[in-house]
């Protein structure tokens, strides 16, 4: 308790904790958000991390800080702590800065995909190859009336998904990518697949509107993966299923610039943690091993519990 109270007994550190309860951010992002020097921010982060209030996740040369779970006392008082955060000075400014940082991440991704839509398929396969995993992904899918794919890109997976559902809806935030997907579907004579423009955190579909959601190689582009998973839970029917494929953790730092990756893949433990925090259950994972020059792929299936629905 003494270490906890010492760590929190500073207005700047209180603001930092309040911000990091809203998401995971780098030192550089926190420096911009709070308008402080990097050395000052780093010193406060070190104190909070040593106290177990924060944890740090390193990806390549970047370090992401977030609220941790190592300090049992902080975890116990956290609900009451969060209720008082709105009373902090500059709270509204900090919340606006958080929103601005996440928007900056989203905007960088959108601009990249609009610019590279026509070359995306060859670009992604050439720069960051992965083993053949699609048959295993498709085998995880249930048969449902409505299936939603988020981040459809050029629409390569959509025809295969149409055999698993009476109706398939594809969503992407890039108009250029959706244009490529429409051209692909028309050339293949595919009908009955609906394409919609939308963000992963604001899906253009009603509550409980889908029996299954597929997220194929998109979560590592998300500015806020937990927010995406919570939005997926919203649109799933009770008992509905999320099927996710993504990169396992790797160290190809250049992927941030050349492929607009926000995250250098994921550990199964952090995906499971996010899924549980979002409200999913019955979480199952498998790992598709890579050949030389490739990166491993994680396949995850999770269900929306019936208990989340109000009676």
CATH assignment at residue 52: 1.10.10.10
The answer to whether residue 95 sits within a structural domain is no
Q: If we measure between CA atoms, which residue out of 260, 275, 268 comes closest to residue 228?
A: 275
What integer pLDDT is reported at residue 108 of this predicted model? 79
The answer to whether residue 96 sits within a structural domain is no
| Residue 284's pLDDT band (cuts 50, 70, 90) | very high
Is there a contact between 275 and 302 (Cβ–Cβ < 8 Å)?
A: yes
What integer pLDDT is reported at residue 66 of this predicted model? 86
Domains: count for the chain = 2
Specify burial of residue 189 (Cβ count, 10 A radius: 0-12, 13-18, 19+). Answer: exposed
* Digit-coded pLDDT (tens) for 90-99: 999 999 999 8
Residues 301 and 214 in one domain: yes
Q: What mean pLDDT is predicted for residues 188-211? A: 92
The answer to whether residue 204 sits within a structural domain is yes
Residues 261 and 177 in one domain: yes
* Residue 277 reports pLDDT greater than 80: yes
| Residue 151's pLDDT band (cuts 50, 70, 90) | very high
CATH of residue 302's domain is 3.40.50.150
What integer pLDDT is reported at residue 311 of this predicted model? 39
What integer pLDDT is reported at residue 68 of this predicted model? 82
Return d(Cα 266, Cα 279) in angstroms, integer. 19
Contacts of 19 (CB under 8 A, 6+ apart): 25, 30, 33, 34, 94, 97, 98
The answer to whether residue 182 sits within a structural domain is yes
| Residue 67's pLDDT band (cuts 50, 70, 90) | confident
The answer to whether residue 105 sits within a structural domain is no
Q: In what side-by-side order are the strands of the sheet with 25-26?
A: 25-26, 62-67, 54-59
The answer to whether residue 288 sits within a structural domain is yes
What integer pLDDT is reported at residue 210 of this predicted model? 97
* Residue 219 reports pLDDT greater than 80: yes
Structure tokens at 63: 């370090």
Angle between helix 27-34 and 11-20 (nearest 10): 120
Residues 131 and 274 in one domain: yes
What integer pLDDT is reported at residue 208 of this predicted model? 96
* Residue 310 reports pLDDT greater than 60: no
Residues 6 and 68 in one domain: yes
What integer pLDDT is reported at residue 266 of this predicted model? 93
Q: What mean pLDDT is predicted for residues 86-109? A: 87
Rounded to the nearest integer, the mean pLDDT of the chain is: 90
Residues 288 and 148 in one domain: yes
Q: What mean pLDDT is predicted for residues 114-136? A: 80
Torsion, Cα of 91, 94, 98, 101 (10° steps) = 170
* Residue 308 reports pLDDT greater than 90: no
Residues 186 and 299 in one domain: yes
The answer to whether residue 97 sits within a structural domain is no
Residues 201 and 255 in one domain: yes
Structural domain range at position 33: 2-89
Return the top range by mean pLDDT from 27-31, 71-75, 251-255: 27-31
* Residue 237 reports pLDDT greater than 60: yes
How many CB atoms are located within 10 Å of the residue 41 CB?
21
Residues 146 and 205 in one domain: yes
| Residue 117's pLDDT band (cuts 50, 70, 90) | confident
């Amino acid at each position: 308790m003494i270490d906890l109270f010492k760590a929190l007994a500073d207005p700047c550190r209180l603001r930092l904790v309040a911000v990091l309860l809203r998401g995971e951010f780098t030192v550089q992002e926190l420096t911009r958000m709070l308008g402080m020097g990097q050395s000052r921010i780093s010193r406060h982060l070190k104190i909070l991390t040593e106290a177990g209030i924060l944890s740090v996740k390193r990806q390549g040369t970047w370090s992401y800080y977030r609220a941790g779970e190592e300090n049992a006392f902080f975890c116990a008082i956290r609900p009451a702590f969060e209720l008082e955060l709105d009373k902090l000075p500059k709270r509204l400014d900090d919340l606006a800065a958080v929103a601005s940082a996440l928007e900056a991440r989203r905007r960088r991704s959108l601009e990249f995909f609009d610019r590279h839509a026509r070359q995306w398929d060859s670009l992604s396969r050439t720069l960051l190859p992965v083993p053949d995993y699609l048959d295993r992904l498709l085998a995880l899918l249930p048969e449902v009336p409505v299936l939603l794919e988020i981040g459809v890109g050029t629409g390569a997976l959509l025809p295969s998904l149409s055999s698993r559902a009476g109706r398939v809806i594809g969503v992407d935030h890039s108009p250029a990518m959706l244009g490529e997907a429409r051209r692909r579907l028309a050339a293949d004579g595919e009908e009955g697949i609906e394409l919609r423009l939308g963000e992963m955190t604001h899906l253009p579909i009603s509550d409980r509107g889908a029996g299954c959601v597929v997220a194929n190689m998109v979560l590592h582009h998300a500015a806020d993966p937990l927010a995406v998973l919570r939005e997926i839970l919203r649109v799933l029917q009770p008992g509905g299923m999320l099927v996710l494929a993504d990169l396992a953790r790797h160290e190809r730092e250049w992927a941030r610039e050349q492929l607009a990756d926000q995250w250098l893949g994921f550990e199964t433990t952090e995906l499971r943690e996010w899924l549980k925090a979002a409200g999913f259950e019955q979480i199952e994972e498998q790992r598709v091993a890579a050949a030389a020059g490739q990166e491993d792929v994680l396949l995850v299936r999770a269900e929306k519990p019936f208990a989340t629905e109000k009676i």
